[in-house]
Chains A and B, each alone.
Chain A
Amino acid sequence: MELFDLSAHELADLLKKREITAIDIAGAIIKRVHQVDEDVRSYVTLNEEDALEAAREIDENWSKMDAVSPLAGIPMGLKDNICTKGVRTTCSSRMLEKFIPPYSATVADRLTEAGAVLMGKLNMDEFAMGSTTESSYFFPTHNPWDLARVPGGSSGGSAAAVAAGEAVYALGSDTGGSIRQPAAFCGIVGMKPTNGLLSRNGVVPFASSLDTVGPLTKDVRDCALVLNAISGHDPLDSVSVPMEIPDYTTFLTGDIKGKRVGIIREMIDEGLDAGIGQVFKNAVNILEELGAVVEECSLPTAVSSVPIYHIISSAEASSNLARFDGVRYGYRAVPEKGKDFSLEEMYMKTRGEGFGPEVKRRILMGTYVLSSGCYEKYYLKATKVRTLIREDFQRLFEQFDVLITPTTPNLPFRLGEEVDDSLTIYNFDKYTLPVNMAGLPAISLPCGFVEDLPVGMQIIGPAFAEGALFQVAYAFEQNTPYHQERPRFQGQSAAKTVKGSEING
């Protein structure tokens, strides 16, 4: 194993024993980025010198630090919608191509306080709208398991970077599945926390009632460590909840005897890829062997979460993205030589040229569903259906501790595939979307391989029950080998991938 293959807690152990230094780790990750990023293209902005400087500081101060955070000296990457003071934050959009934030997001500050080393900013679908990372203004990111395939999205750069060893862990954002789906596609762990568990201050908003920030990591312990560091109330995000945050690593017991686990029937339906279905079945058997009590259950409103997501998220986006007007920051269209714009022309051209097609489509959709005469039919109706979905989940959690599903019904698409048919692609999010509609926490973790491509299992819990998710996920992970697999390509020269299917029992 190379240093770039190790998890944060494994590296922290080596650091603690002073067998390696933070500079060693940062150097190994930077070398890895140079080796593979030409193929993977995770990074929009690489922060090489600052990362080395931060690592050097950690090493110098190591002996002076009383209680060393387990994330100190560990290199990580941030999705490029998380503001970083002095480091370009683009949302992978032309609109923010040159934007240098004057302050950092609270989650970024919390990681810095924990001694994290920022490697750089990671590619995403433009303004987090998409599920392939192909709508990035700059370039698409490639899946490290098969470079011809997408890493998922919208946090595709975050997931690909962690899977390829270009960052030890990353943060992403999840509005409709944008952490869990790319985590599943790239064979890593990704968590969408309960809405309100942590601050979104400084994270460029897409749909405020749905947006969450969360970790993408190599294993479940890392995920708990990162969540420990970023959770908690922040006065700058008024809907973050003032509450005691437990130490999530205390839930990593490995014991799930008697846990009541529900399989959502609507998410093992005819739309599910047969190979994924088989892998998921094996995963369920493992949970049963570990002592969980597994039963099928029904979430009849699940199917409605796709249309209401498109109404609610677009409506909120149309309002949130109104701030991009070419006045205070961001792109501004320039008139032809010798001509002047009126103010309105400047707005219209700026937004017409600064936003990509997917973003425009969603803003227009949102504007329409909020316009007079449409509000009741679309927006208000959707918010009522959302209540029904929440009630459906509440009913299930009277009976079950957690619910499980495959994270996605499909394997990662090939680059360029399906993008012409947006309705088809929307349906691929139907296992992750209901969770956002109800604001619940969910984790995706590797549960096997199909055709050498990773498959994810999603575990969903009641609000603020992240601990229960860690408990079940950790027990499963410790009894399976999937999280130890790494894509074995070495840059363009030797494209040798590990045969994931060989270890699938």
Chain B
Amino acid sequence: MVLTREDLKQVAMLAQIELDEAESNELHSQLNDLLQYVGSIDSIDTENVEPTFYLLPLKNVWRLDEDSQPPLAPDYVFQNAPGHERGFFKVPRIL
């Protein structure tokens, strides 16, 4: 087993996803199968090989530091929000 139960719990916490018991059991075995499978790339020689993070030779594409696009109108900003009040997104109490 590459991924222990504790690891899975930790990863689910990092990803902020609640898992019930049945899901955890299933995912634990599926992820271990998958990790074992993808681990097969270990045997490929990548000594002195540069990584490819992106495919095009584009680096740091910035736009000019000026108004380019008008912002969304507040009605649009909040139209999909599960909770909002007086022009703010509403979330559970934090402090």
- CB–CB A325/B38 < 8 A: no
- Tell me the smallest distance from the CB of B82 to a CB of chain A, in Å: 4
* Set of chain A residues within 8 Å of B53, measured between Cβ atoms: 209, 383
B1 close to A (CB within 8 Å): no
Q: Could you say which of B19, B20, B38, B76 contacts A307, with CB atoms under 8 Å apart?
A: B38
* Set of chain A residues within 8 Å of B83, measured between Cβ atoms: 332
- CB–CB B82/A360 < 8 A: no
Bound form: Cα–Cα A94–B48 in Å = 45
Interface string of B21-34 (1 = CB under 8 A from A): 00100110011011
Bound form: Cα–Cα A236–B68 in Å = 10
A165 close to B (CB within 8 Å): no
* Set of chain A residues within 8 Å of B80, measured between Cβ atoms: 98-100, 102, 328-330
- CB–CB A363/B17 < 8 A: yes
Interface residues on B, range: 35 or more
Q: Could you say which of A196, A330, A423 contacts B34, with CB atoms under 8 Å apart?
A: A423
- CB–CB B18/A381 < 8 A: no
- CB–CB A326/B14 < 8 A: no
Q: Could you say which of A103, A361, A377, A386 contacts B51, with CB atoms under 8 Å apart?
A: A386
Give how many A residues have a beta carbon under 8 Å from the other chain's beta carbons: 71
Q: Which of chain B's residues has its CB closest to A238's CB?
A: B61
Bound form: Cα–Cα A331–B39 in Å = 35
If the complex has contacts A346-B92, A438-B55, are A368 and B72 also in contact, measured as CB distance less than 8 A?
A: no
Q: Which of chain A's residues has its CB closest to B61's CB?
A: A238
* Set of chain A residues within 8 Å of B82, measured between Cβ atoms: 326-327, 329-332
Q: Could you say which of A342, A348, A355, A386 contacts B52, with CB atoms under 8 Å apart?
A: A386
Q: Which of chain A's residues has its CB closest to B78's CB?
A: A328
- CB–CB A310/B51 < 8 A: no
- Tell me the smallest distance from the CB of B5 to a CB of chain A, in Å: 13
List CB contacts (< 8 Å) of A330-352 with chain B.
Answer: 330-332, 340-349, 351-352
Bound form: Cα–Cα A310–B82 in Å = 32
Q: Which 8 A-B pairs have the closest CB atoms?
A: A439-B55, A352-B18, A329-B80, A332-B82, A383-B51, A102-B76, A384-B46, A238-B61
A binding-site residues for B, Cβ under 8 Å: 98-100, 102-103, 195-196, 209, 235-236, 238-239, 241, 301, 304, 307-308, 310-311, 318, 322, 325-332, 340-349, 351-353, 355, 357, 360-361, 363-365, 367-369, 371, 377-378, 380-388, 390, 422-423, 426, 438-439, 463
B binding-site residues for A, Cβ under 8 Å: 3, 7-8, 10-12, 14-20, 23, 26-27, 30-31, 33-35, 37-42, 44, 46, 49-56, 58, 61-63, 68-69, 72, 76-77, 79-83, 89, 91-94
